[in-house]
Structure 1
C-alpha cells in the first residue's frame, strides 16, 4: 500500500511537466555564443523577451557569456509585437558577430490558466546551432503547468533549468 501511495504521489508531482532533449556531444561554454530573438507564439506580449532574460541569467551562471542581439527601442511597441523575430536587422547583426554557437528558441505557451487557482502554464523550445554551418547541435522542449499562486516566472525558470541540465556544457 505504501509503495502504491509513493507511486501515485510521484505521478501527481511530475505529471504536470513534460521535457524532451536530445543527447549531443559536449559544447564549450568558453566558446562565443550569440543570442537571437526568441519567437513568441503565445498570446502574451513580450513573453519571448522575458524568456530571453531568464535564459541569459541561467546560462551566465553556467559560465556562458552570450552576445545578446540589440533590441530595437526606436520602433513602436505594436511593430515589436508583430515583427518577425529573425528579420533582416537581426540577421545583419548576427553576421557581424564572432560567435561559434547561435542560441534561439520559441515560446508556445505563457499564461495563467483561467479558474479559481490560475495556475501558470509555460511551453518553450530552445535550439543551439553551429554558426558557421547552421547545423543543429542541440534542441530541447519543455512544458510545465505550475501550482496555484505560483508565478509564471518561477514556472519558466523551472522549465529552463530542466532543459539546460540536458545541455552538455564543457569548459
Structure 2
C-alpha cells in the first residue's frame, strides 16, 4: 500500500522539478572550433531589477568559460579598460553593430554577449531564486552568430534546505557553456 502511494508522489515531484527550467539554443558546432578562438566576454546587460546582476552573472559566465572551454579568453579587466579607453559605451550592448565594433576595437575574433533577464527571489511560501540568462556568440570576421542560448530556471528546495541566487546562476551558466562547447 505504501509503495503504491510513493510512486504517484514521485511522479508529481519529478514533473514539478522539470517544469522549473526552460532552455532554447541555436548552435553551429562545426564553426566554433574552441581552441582557435580568441574571445572577449562583454559586460552583460542587466534587464532585471536586481542591482549589478549583469556584472555578477558575467563574472560567473567567464569562470565557467575558463573551466569548460578551450577558448583563449581576454581578461575581463582588460576588456573593460580597453572599451573605456576607446570611449565605447558597451554597457547596454545588445545591438550587433555595437558588438562588432567592440570586437574590432578589442582585437578579438569572437565575442560573447547577452543579458540577464531575471535575477531575483520569487515570492511565495518560500522565496525561491529565479535566474534567466540570454547569450550569443558572434564571429567578428563573418559577422555570423555561431551560438545562441537562453535559459531560465527556478531554484528552490523542499523543506530543510536553502538555495541562493548565486548558486542557481552558476548552474545556469554551467549548463549554457556546456552546450556551447559540446561537440
Tell me if TM exceeds 0.5: yes
**Bigger relative CO (Cα 8 Å, ≥ 6 apart):** 1
Q: Mean Cα displacement is larger for which, 23-32 or 146-155?
A: 23-32
Q: Which residue of 2 aligns with 1:108?
A: 117
Query: What CA deviation, in whole Å up to 9, does each residue of 1:33-90 have, x standing for no partner?
Result: 1111211110011101101100010010123332132159x9xxxxxxxx84239x98
TM-score by length of 1: 0.80
1:64 aligns with 2:71: yes
Deviation at 1:154, TM superposition (A): 0.8
Q: Which residue of 2 aligns with 1:80?
A: none
Q: Which of 120, 125, 133 is equivalent to 2:134?
A: 125
Unaligned runs of 5+ in 1: 75-82
Q: Using a 3 Å threshold, how does the CA distance of structure 1 residues 168 and 90 change in structure 2: closer, same or farther?
A: closer
Q: Which residue of 2 aligns with 1:25?
A: 29
Question: What CA distance in whole angstroms lies between the structure 2 residues aligned with 1:93 and 1:138?
Answer: 18
1:127 is paired with a residue of what secondary structure?
A: strand
Q: Mean Cα displacement is larger for which, 135-144 or 6-15?
A: 6-15
TM-score by length of 2: 0.75
Question: What CA distance in whole angstroms lies between the structure 2 residues aligned with 1:10 and 1:22?
Answer: 27
- Higher-Rg structure is 2
Q: Mean Cα displacement is larger for which, 1-10 or 149-158?
A: 1-10
Aligned residues: 161
Pairwise CA RMSD? 2.8
Q: Which residue of 1 aligns with 2:92?
A: 85
Report if the CA contact (8 A) 1:32-1:65 is conserved: yes
Structural mapping, 1:29-68, within 5 Å: 29-30=34-35, 31-62=37-68, 63-67=70-74, 68=76
Unaligned runs of 5+ in 2: 85-89
Q: Which of 160, 164, 167 is equivalent to 2:177?
A: 164
Question: What CA distance in whole angstroms lies between the structure 2 residues aligned with 1:128 and 1:93?
Answer: 13
Q: Which residue of 2 aligns with 1:77?
A: none
